[in-house]
Every structure is written in structure tokens, then in C-alpha cells.
Amino acid sequence: MPKTNSLTTVIIPRLLQGALTLLIFVTVVFVLMRMIGGDPALAFAAPDATAAEIEQLRASMGLDEPIYVQYGIYLRDMITGSFGTSVKVGRAVSDLIWEHTANSLKLAVTAVLFSVVIAIPLGVLAASNRFTGVDSSIRAIAVFAMAAPSFWLSIVLIQIVAVGWGLLPVAGMKGPASYILPGFVLASLLIASIVRLLRSGMLDVLNSEYVKLARLKGVPERQIIWKHALRNAIIPVLGFSSVQIATFISGSVVIEIVFAWPGLGALTYSALTTRDFALIQGTITAAVFFTIVVNLLADIFYSYLDPRIRVS
Amino acid sequence: MSLLEVENLSSHLLTRRGTVKAVDGVSLRVEAGETLGLVGESGSGKSMTCLSIARLLPWPVGRAVGGKIIFDGKDLMEASEKEMSRMRGKELAMIPQDPFSSLNPVFSIGNQLMEPLRIHLGMSGKPLQERARELLSLVRIPEAGRRLNQYPHQLSGGMRQRVVGAMAASCRPKLVLADEPTTSLDVTTQAQFLYLLKSIQSEFGMGMIYVSHDLGVVARVSDRVAVMYAGKIVEQASAKDIFERPAHPYTRALLDSIAPVDRDVERLPSIDGDPPELYDIPVGCRFANRCPHVMPKCRELAPPPAKIGKDHVADCWLHYAD
Amino acid sequence: MEKQSHIEVSYPFLKRLRLPFRGRSRRVSVRRFPPLFPAVIILLAVVAAIFGEQLAPHSPVEPDFLNRLSPPVWVDGGMWKYPLGTDSLGRDVLSRIIVGSRISMTVAVAALGIAALVGVAVAIATAYYSRAWLSTVLLRIVDSLVPIPVIFIGLIIAAVYGPSMPAVVTSLAVIAWARFCRGIRGDALRIMEMDYVAMAKVEGCSSPYIMVRHVFPNLVNTLIVLFTLLAGWAILVEASLSFLGAGVPPPAPSWGRMVSSGQDHIISGWWISSVPGAAILLVVLAFNQAGDWLRDRLDPNLEVA
């Protein structure tokens, strides 16, 4: 039974691992905020808070309970997703999270589209023109893109494309044109790694015996590259990139701030700068939760891509 | 006119340590419907000869240096890549060595089997499916319908090689280059495959070059045999002549190293020494340093082909009377 | 001109030959000397980090109000006094970049140093006591930590304890040790299988002695490669945190915050963020390239988590 097989061997262990990651993360957050000296109530209180206000905050945070009870309450809140109400915004934290996550998701989908549309042709182009000028320029661009800080790339693109040429909006989420710059910057790292992986994967496959046999069958070169070689080379690349998509969640913090994008990253950041305690816990737990979910989906996706794994 | 006539073919490999003359002035011919056995040690240039004929030398190190490949009245050395790819799989097919790595793991057997039919014969739809099923039954693969949807890793080695064979035969090519197609199979599977290959060949009337290092196998499949040593063909004759009247010392040495079936021998004689490095070919006869009959002349000048009998030539000074 | 079609076909015979070009196989040709560009950039960054104030032509923090927003020298209105221009307070961008190297380098070295120590210790111990339940637990923790986004850890720590150098170092180290551990564990397990480890056990060497004297020295190559590859990552994370205001606080100049401060002057002073950003790019690029080269040279099979 193939289905039960992949369920037990792939999905369940991943689920458990994901749950453990989440537990470790919320524990790390808990430990950071309560255990290593300092008074979280003081840290999260407004600078001009009175002693009574701090005391009230302490009670509302459950800080007057013993530490293990605090941990229990904390875990219960995390599991049920009841993150309370944002003091600063005056709305339920879970509502805010869903709204902003939707915006982040739109940006992430844009970035995935950019990656596929840009990176796959570039990787194939580099491999089919191996050891030529085309190949080395594509590789050089990829190497630079891997090292470029995304906040810097954002600012440079805003300066040139938005301010200099006036082609695209500088910031904000207004209409399709506003998706282009942030989506491209978010995709840039993924584009670079797909190009590099796809190129070397294609080179390996173009050297394989089955590509040789395909040539011996008289398959035209175009089909050799786009059908036989790409289909094989793309499997590990897709597996890797689906895992990489998880980095969109942390990558988007910086990008959403530069482009004033109302997403989860920007929400987390504003929660931290305004010291909105409930919102911080909520957004960060959500961000890690989504990271884990994307990783999990990537694993499952990968195991279904390869017929050798899929069928057995 | 012969189906395939190769004249003075030379192919080199450019490596760091120098130019490897992998194929060095090879001439051979194959008649329609005939099997030519190409025998030699590994690294003697047998596979490179096949790849040169298919015009698929390893890129970017392989170089076709010279010679003529007249196939079906046309010189392949003059053919463009486009013409070649139209011919490969249709008129000129090849069965490679390793059935385990020769099938693309991500496409189904059916998909790969139908590919040459689609490309060369423009078949599609029901007739294509039907033809693919016929081909699988031709190579004695049961449950053809189910097998078509399976992936290579679900088939045994022998079955995969039969699929590759079916693929090669699919467009009824005039010539099949079989490059040690049975080396990676076990003995029984090997015998079955050979039998199958011969029956398809006679049914379709294909010419074949059968490459092997195993004289025993070659003896069973070939009408004529060419013995290759260090990039050159040293003896060429009918299979009968090769086994009954070997004229070149290397051929004799090869025959001596086959275990005789009819009597027990304590030890098989083996050939002492190694073949010359192909980037540093000595002047004179290439077999000189291993030859039991070596003469001073052998080390000075390479022997030209000597005519031994009807259709029987050997490159050896022993056959020149002076 | 011979009419060789440019088609690539593998041929088993070729595997025994050394091919005359680069790229087919990593092992075939790895340059013996480090590539010049990364070596020079890393050297410059290290020298700048150590001797920053002595090398910088101006003070990195002293404002020059008469020369605010002065452009780089190759732009109209630029002056040689400030070759890379000045920021909105009139501080020399070049001097700030030179002195700012110290923060990037210190954070990378400190965080990765701590992380390497912990990571290697855990890798060796879990390989040595591979059947102990504690090893299993530790490895589960490692697997859990690797995907956690480090930026969030950095933001939380900065929010709770205020932005500081130790906060940045801690948040990096908390995640990086797991990456070291994962990168090194395969090697550690392989070495545990070696005969000399078995011999040492038979001879009655103590466990800590075997781990330090027999196992550790064999991991040094991998450790160097990992350290270099992760250095680029650590510098990027530090820069991102500084950009978000969660890095090392002012007045110390850090590259990430310089980029951030230029955001308000996208039109009037593009160089304020572009130039320090280019510095980050170059240094990260140099560490990535150096890491790739070291990996090819020392440990071709390594895969970084």
C-alpha cells in the first residue's frame, strides 16, 4: 500500500519533528523572556509607566504565578492560538495575524512565480551553453545575488527603478505594479540558488547514459534539454527550493519594512518596536509555525516528485 | 554495395596527458542483414568506434579526425547534426552497455519506448500504443499493457535491456550497434537476450555490429569478426576462419584464453604484458611487446594488412614472406 | 574544420582520464592557491577591523556640518576630502565603513566561535555515545533549531534586553551551533568507525582523551570550511539586524545601520545606503567564494545545512 507507506515513513516523522521544533522555539522564547534576568514586565512596560501599572502588567502576564505554572499557561495559549488582544492596536491578535499573513502570502506567491519564470530558463541556458560567456555571466550574477543583502538590493532598486526611472511604485501595496519590486527582491536569493543547482544538475544529467540513449534514438537537442535533462535535473532543485521558500518568512521582515508592505514581517517588527507584548508572542509563534508548515509541505512535495520514491 | 563501409576512421580524445588515439585508422564493412563481431580488450577502442559511427563522440574531448563512414550510400562524416539526429534511432540504432543507467528514471517505459516512433514515424494515439505493446511482446515482455506504465526501476536488468532492445528495433533500423549489451547481465539472461536479439535481427533483416570482449559470445552471434587492438583492427575474417585459422598472434592469444568446453585445463594461458598506452603509441606493430613471435622488423614498421584468404586479412609481418 | 557535433556523451573510459577543462568534476581541478579576489577583500576587512581608527582618514562619528550630504568624488560636487561622500550629518562614509568593519567581524568571529565550540562538542559527544538517549534528544534539538529563522531570535532578544553586541552574538550562536553540529556530525560518525579509535579504546584511553586527541583533529578541515561559509551568513544576519535597529547601537558605525540611515535620503544622497551595502555585498561574497574554494580543497563532500 503506497499511501500508508509514505504516510508512516515520510509524513508522520516530519509532523513530530515539526511539533518538536515549535515546542523548542516557544520554549526558547519563554526562557529568553522570563529566565535570563531582567523583568519582562519592566521590559514591556511603557517607559513612563507607574509602579501600579507595572504591577498590573505583571499580573496580566501571569508573572505572579510560579514559573512552571507560567510555562503551562504559556504553552496552553500557544496551542489554542489565543494570543489575546493587542494593547496598542486594540484588536484581537489572531485577526491581525490572519490579515497580514494573507498579504505576506500574496508577496510570497509573486516571488515563487518570479523564481520559476526567471531561474529555470537561466539555469537551463547556462547548462546548455556550458563553459561559454553566457554560462559564466549567468553564474557570476547568481554568485552576486547570493551575497547581496536584501535590504540593500531593495533600496538600490527603489533608487533606480522607482525613483530614477519612475517606472514602479516606491512602496506600499497598491495594485499589481507594486508587487514587482518586493517580489523580485524576495525571490532573488531563491533565483540565485536555483540557477546554480539547476546548472550543475543539468550538467550531470547531460552526461548520463540515458541522455546518451535518447540521443541515440534521434531525439532532437531541444527535446533532450527541455524534456529528458530538465525533468531529471529539476527534481532535487524543486525539493531544495521548496525548503528555501521557508526563508521567505524571515526574509520578508526586512523587505516588508523597506517597501512598507502590510505583511506578517512588518507586523512583527512594529509589535517589537512598540513593545506590544501579546502581539509579539502571536506574530513570532505564527512565523515559526508557518516556517515549519512550509518545511513539512516541502518534504511531502519532494517525496512525491520522484517516481522512484512515489511508487515504491 | 555494403550497408556500412568505414574507411580509415580516426577519432581522438584530447586529455590532459595528451591526445588519445582511441580509434586509429579503422576500416570495416557490414553487409545488410549481417552481423560483424567487434572483439578486443577493454580500452581497445571498440566502443569509440561505435560512437564515431553514430557521430556521438564525448563532448568536448572527442574529435573525429578523419576517414569515411559510408552508410547506405551516404557519408556520415559529411552529414549535418540535423541529418544525423534524423537518422539516429530510425536507420541507425544503438544498444548501449548498461541497462541500469540507460533508461531515464523519471519517464515511464511506454513514454521512452514510444519516443522514437513519435519522432521518426510521426505516430500518435491508438496506433502508437498498439505498436508499443507489440514491441514489448516482440521482446517477450509479458503483460505489455501494464509494463508500459511502469518506471525503469520496477523492471529487472534483463527486462530493461530487452526494453532498450525493443527501442532500438522500434523503427526497423538498417543497422544496430550493440555495444556489449550483455556484459552487465547474468549468464542465463545473457543467453536469452542474445537469442532474442538474433531472432529480431533475422525477422527485421537488420545489419549489426556486435561489440564484445568475449570471443565466446561473438562466436555465437557473428557472421564475420573484426579483432581490435589498441585502436586498430588487426584481423578481419569470417567467424569460421577466425576460430579455425586465426592469423594474427593476438587473435590466437585471445582464443587460447577461452576455456575449452571439451576438456579440463589446469590453467588458462593469459597474455603477458599490457596493451600500449594510447597517448604514447610505439612505432611499429602495437602488439610487438607482447607478441611471442616478435621480430626486429616488428618494432620498426607497422605491418600493412596481409591477405590470408578470401575475405581474411591480418596486420602481421608473419604473413609476408621475406 | 572537422564537423564534430557538440554533443555530450559519457563514456566509462573517460572517467579514468583527467579532463582538460574545469567544471565537469570538482575534484578534477581545484586551484591550489586561494582565489585572489576573496583573499584580498577578507584581508582588507580584517585589517580595517583591527586598525580601523588609525586607517580612517576622518573620525567615523564626528559630524562636519558644513559638508553634509557631500557626494562621492566621481560625482559632480564630490571632493577628495570625502572620497565616498558624507551622510546627512556630514560624517565621512569611507571612515565609517572602515571602522564599521569591526562590528561585522567581531560579531561573526564571536558568534561563530561560541557556536563552533558547542557544535563540535555536541557532534563529537553524540557520535561517541551514539546509543545514549541524551544523544538522540540533542540531535532532535539540532534538527529543530536549523530551520528556525535567526532574525526572529535576534529581534526578540533585542526587544527584551535592548539592542547590543552580546544580544546579536547570542541570537546568532543559538542557531549557528546546530548548523555546525549538523555539518560535522557525519564526519565524526565516520571517524568513530576508524580502526585507530577502536585501538585507542582497546588500549584503555579515556573517553575524553579519545574525543580530543583522536576524533577532533580529523574534524578541523570541515570545521574551517563551515566557519568560512557561515561567516558570510553571520555578517548578513548582523547587517539585517542592524538595519532593523536590533543590532549594535549607535554611535558605533555598523554597515547595516548605515544602509538604513540612507533610506531617508534616497533622492538627495543615494550613496549613503548604496556604498555601505556594497561593502556588505563584497565581504559576504568574499567569504562565500573563499568557503567554496576551501570546501573544494579540503572537504568536497560537505553539504552545509
Q: Is the pLDDT assigned to residue C203 strictly greater than 80?
A: yes
Averaged pLDDT for residues C176-201: 88
3-state secondary structure of B228: strand
Q: Beginning with the edge strand found earlier in the chain, give each strand of the sheet holding B175-179 in spatial order.
A: B92-95, B175-179, B207-212, B35-39, B224-229, B232-238, B312-314, B306-309
- Which tens digit of pLDDT belongs to each residue from C286-295? 999 998 888 8
Confidence (pLDDT) at B289: 82
What is the reported pLDDT for A126? 92
Interface of A with B in 213-242 (CB under 8 A): 213-221, 223, 228, 231-232, 235
User: What does the pLDDT read at residue C85?
Assistant: 80
pLDDT (0 to 100) of residue C130:
83
To which residue does cell 574531448 refer? B61
* Selection from B259, B222, B216, B262 nearest residue B239 by Cα: B222
> Mean per-residue pLDDT for B156-164?
88
Query: Which residue of C141, C160, C273 is in closest CB contact with A24?
Result: C141
What residues of B are in contact with residue A232 (Cβ under 8 Å)?
Answer: 104-106
The pLDDT assigned to C232 comes to: 92
Contact C234, C151 (CB under 8 A): no
pLDDT at res. A307: 61
ipTM above 0.90, yes or no: no
Provide the shortest C-alpha distance from residue C31 to chain B (in Å).
Answer: 16
Question: Which pLDDT band holds residue B140 (cuts at 50, 70, 90)?
Answer: confident
**Strand pairing category for B232-238 and B224-229:** antiparallel
Q: What's the pLDDT at C18? A: 37
**Could you tell me which of C109, C117, C175 has the C-alpha nearest to residue C146?**
C175
**What's the confidence (pLDDT) of residue C111?**
95
Within 8 A of B60 by CB-CB distance, chain A residues are 131
Residue A282 has pLDDT above 60, yes or no: yes
**Chain C neighbors of A215, CB-CB under 8 A:** 7, 9
Residues in A touching B88 (Cβ below 8 Å): 215-218
* CB–CB contact C144 A25 (8 Å): yes
Per-residue pLDDT tens over the stretch A224-236: 999 889 988 888 8
Contact between chains at C6 and B60 (C-beta distance less than 8 A): yes
In angstroms, the CA C96 to CA C101 distance is 8
Alpha-carbon span A163 to A160, nearest angstrom: 6
How many other C-beta atoms are found inside a 10 Å radius of the C-beta of residue A180? 17
Residue type, A148: A
Which H or E run contains B285?
none
Subunits close to B (at least 3 CB pairs below 8 A) = A, C
Contact yes or no for B63 and C2 at CB 8 A? yes
pLDDT of residue C16: 39
Give the closest of A159, A212, A269 to C244, CB-based: A269
Any residues with CB less than 8 A from the CB of A254 and at least 6 apart, and which? A150, A151, A154, A265, C151, C240, C243, C244
Please, which chains are in contact with A (at least 3 CB pairs closer than 8 A)?
A: B, C
The pLDDT assigned to A13 comes to: 78
pLDDT value at residue B311: 86
Q: Would you say residue A38 has pLDDT above 60?
A: no
Per the CB < 8 A criterion, the answer to whether A184 and A168 are in contact is no
For residue C148, the one-letter residue type is I
pLDDT score, position C305: 43
For residue C248, the model assigns a pLDDT of 87
User: Is C285 within 8 Å of A143 when comparing Cβ atoms?
Assistant: yes
Indicate the pLDDT class of residue A195, thresholds 50, 70 and 90. very high
Q: What is the pLDDT of residues C153-188, one digit of tens each?
A: 888 888 777 888 999 999 999 999 999 998 898 888
Residue of C nearest to A220 (CA): C7
Residues in A touching B166 (Cβ below 8 Å): none
C139: chain A residues, CB-CB within 8 Å: none
Measured CA to CA in angstroms, residue B187 lies from B141, B159, B192, C166 at distances of: 19, 14, 9, 70
The model's pTM: 0.79
Interface test with C, best of A34, A128, A155, A276 (most C CBs within 10 A): A155
Question: What CA–CA distances, in Å, run from C86 to A151, C68, C69, C252, C276?
Answer: 20, 6, 5, 16, 12
Q: What is the pLDDT of residues C37-84, one digit of tens each?
A: 888 999 999 999 898 888 888 787 778 777 777 788 787 777 777 777
More confident of the two residues A276 and B176: B176
Q: Is the pLDDT of residue A3 over 50?
A: no
pLDDT in the model for residue C6:
35
Interface of C with A in 264-303 (CB under 8 A): 266-267, 270, 273-274, 277-278, 280-282, 284-285, 288-289
Size of interface A-C (CB pairs under 8 A): 157
Cβ pair C9:A253 closer than 8 A:
no
Q: Which of A295-309, B83-97, C47-61 has the highest mean pLDDT?
A: B83-97
Question: Which one of C141, C160, C259 has the shortest CB-CB distance to A32?
Answer: C160
Of chain C, the percentage scoring pLDDT greater than 70 comes to 87
pLDDT in tens, B201-260: 988 889 999 998 888 888 888 999 999 988 889 999 998 888 888 888 888 888 887 755
Q: Do A24 and C160 touch (CB under 8 A)?
A: no
Binned at pLDDT 50, 70 and 90, residue C235 comes out as very high
Average the pLDDT over A30-44 and give the result. 62
Beta bridge partners of A153: none
Higher pLDDT, B186 or A267: A267
Query: Can the peptide bond before residue B60 be classed as cis, meaning omega within 30 degrees of 0?
Result: yes
Most B CBs within 10 A among C5, C25, C29, hence the mutation to make, goes to: C5
> When comparing pLDDT for A94 and C266, which is higher?
A94
A309 has pLDDT over 80: no
Residue C3 has pLDDT above 80, yes or no: no
CA torsion through residues A238, A239, A242, A243, sign:
negative
3-class secondary-structure state, position B75: strand
Judge whether residue B300 has pLDDT over 80.
Answer: yes
What is the nearest CA distance from A24 to chain C, expressed in angstroms?
Answer: 7
pLDDT recorded at residue C28: 39
pLDDT at A35: 54
Q: Do residue C273 and residue A143 have CB atoms under 8 angstroms apart? A: no
User: Which of A171, B46, B107, A75 has the alpha carbon at shortest distance from C12?
Assistant: B46
Of A96-105, B141-150, C10-19, C208-217, the poorest mean pLDDT is in: C10-19
Number of H helices, E strands in chain B: 11, 12
Whether the per-residue pLDDT at A2 is higher than 70: the answer is no
Residue C115 clears pLDDT 90, i.e. is over it: yes
More confident residue, C35 or A110: A110
B116 CB neighbours in chain A (<8 A) are 217-219
